[in-house]
């Protein structure tokens, strides 16, 4: 029996992490929008409350996306020389 390639295992691991994080993000945004909708229900039209709940959910999602982008730009460093060498090796002369 052959051992799986480490690249394939790494790709499967990344794909699983992306799915799990996507599901977690969707659960958080749904909880935020549902809480907002339920807080407004007694006072106004239910459809207007639903729109306001989803509006807040999208705002929170945008804020999380901005936070993730800032974190990525602050923490991820690229060795430009290594990247140039990798491109030169990958592209035939």
Sequence ranges of the domains in the chain: 6-90
Most confident of 34-43, 44-53, 61-70: 61-70
Q: Where is pLDDT greater, at 78 or 59?
A: 59
Q: What is the mean pLDDT of the chain?
A: 82
Q: What is the pLDDT of residue 9?
A: 57
Task: Please give the share of the chain, as a percent, with pLDDT higher than 90.
Answer: 31
Terminal-residue alpha carbon distance, the chain: 39
What's the distance, CA 20 to chain centroid? 10
pTM: 0.64
Q: Tell me how far apart the alpha carbons of residues 85 and 89 are, in angstroms, rounded to a whole number.
A: 6
What DSSP character marks residue 36? H
The pLDDT of residue 1 is 46
Residue 43 has pLDDT above 90, yes or no: no
Asked if residues 25 and 61 have their Cβ atoms less than 8 Å apart, the reply is yes
């Amino acid at each position: 029996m052959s051992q799986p390639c480490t690249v394939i295992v790494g790709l499967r691991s990344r794909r699983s992490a992306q799915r799990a994080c996507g599901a977690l993000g969707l659960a958080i945004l749904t909880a935020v929008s549902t809480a907002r909708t339920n807080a407004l229900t007694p006072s106004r039209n239910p459809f207007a409350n639903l729109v306001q709940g989803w509006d807040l959910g999208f705002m929170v999602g945008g804020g999380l996306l901005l936070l993730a982008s800032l974190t990525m730009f602050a923490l991820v460093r690229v060795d430009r020389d290594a990247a140039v060498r990798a491109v030169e090796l990958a592209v035939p002369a």
